[in-house]
Amino acid sequence: MKKKNRTFGVIGLGRFGYHVARTLAQGGAEVIACDVDEEKVREVSEYVSLAYVLDATDAKALKESGIANVDTAVVSVGENIEASILIVVQLKELGVKEIVAKAVNPLHGKVLEKLGVDRVVYPEKEMAIRVAHSLLAGEFIEEIPIGEKHSVFELKAFDFMLGKTLRELDVRRRFGVSVLAIKRGENLIVNPMGDEKILPGDILVVLGTTEQLSTMASQ
């Protein structure tokens, strides 16, 4: 039996909402997107399954859009905190299974949590943290947080690593960092062995903390 694609509703199509909707759709999900701004709806319509110009604070319009039936609704209404809260209340009453909402400040986030939002995101704060981490790590490319402190990082192999094997480098003992994989051109070496030598151009996929990566980068 073919696995059913996950369905998402994205409410509010500013920069954050637009990119969430487009990325979800490009990832194969079915996406219903809506905004009060006709131009924003037009821009995203070529990517998503359905796009509507509507006021999401209107419970009737929200229900008719089909968003009540999605697996996850993402509320990305700009700085209009009142509208954001009202939309979340409407979604809860419609029985949406999972709600993710953008908050503009900690107080807004606390209110959303009290309303039962499953995940509150702070886009500017999270992006600022990722940029800071990239500056600290130097050769950092990408980060996927997996806990309060630990993340999976993609980074260019540091100069001190080149020409040495993982056994010689012993980064787990020296820095507390685990090498999960090595990207070498089109090839991906998963769970590399100790005798694997690091070559120029290698991209390492590692598990660790920002502090551990900063220590390793300073070698």
Domains of the chain, residue spans: 7-121, 127-217
- Higher pLDDT: 61 or 137? It is 61
What distance in Å separates the CA atoms of residue 21 and residue 10, rounded to the nearest whole number?
6
The third-level CATH classification (topology) of the domain covering 127-217 is Alpha-Beta Plaits (3.30.70)
pTM of the model: 0.63
Cβ contacts of residue 39 below 8 Å, gap of 6+? none
Segment 97-126 shows an average pLDDT of 89
Rounded to 5°, angle at Cα 158 from 157 and 162 = 75
Q: Is residue 137 predicted with pLDDT exceeding 60?
A: no
pLDDT at 89: 94
Are the beta carbons of 63 and 7 closer than 8 angstroms?
no
pLDDT at 2: 45
Question: What's the pLDDT band for 36 if we cut at 50, 70, 90?
Answer: very high
- What is the overall mean pLDDT for the chain? 87
Read off φ and ψ for residue 57, nearest 5 degrees: -80, -10
What distance in Å separates the CA atoms of residue 91 and residue 12, rounded to the nearest whole number?
14
The third-level CATH classification (topology) of the domain covering 7-121 is Rossmann fold (3.40.50)
Q: Is residue 42 predicted with pLDDT exceeding 50?
A: yes
What distance in Å separates the CA atoms of residue 54 and residue 121, rounded to the nearest whole number?
23
Polymer length of the chain: 219
What distance in Å separates the CA atoms of residue 25 and residue 20, rounded to the nearest whole number?
9
Q: Is residue 162 predicted with pLDDT exceeding 90?
A: yes
DSSP 94-139: HT-SEEEEE-SSHHHHHHHHHTT-SEEE-HHHHHHHHHHHHHHHSS
pLDDT at 9: 95
pLDDT at 79: 76
Give the number of other CB atoms < 10 A from CB of residue 161: 22
Q: Single out the residue of 137, 13, 34 nearest to residue 78, CA to CA.
A: 13
Alpha helices in 3-99 (DSSP H): 15-26, 38-45, 59-65, 81-94
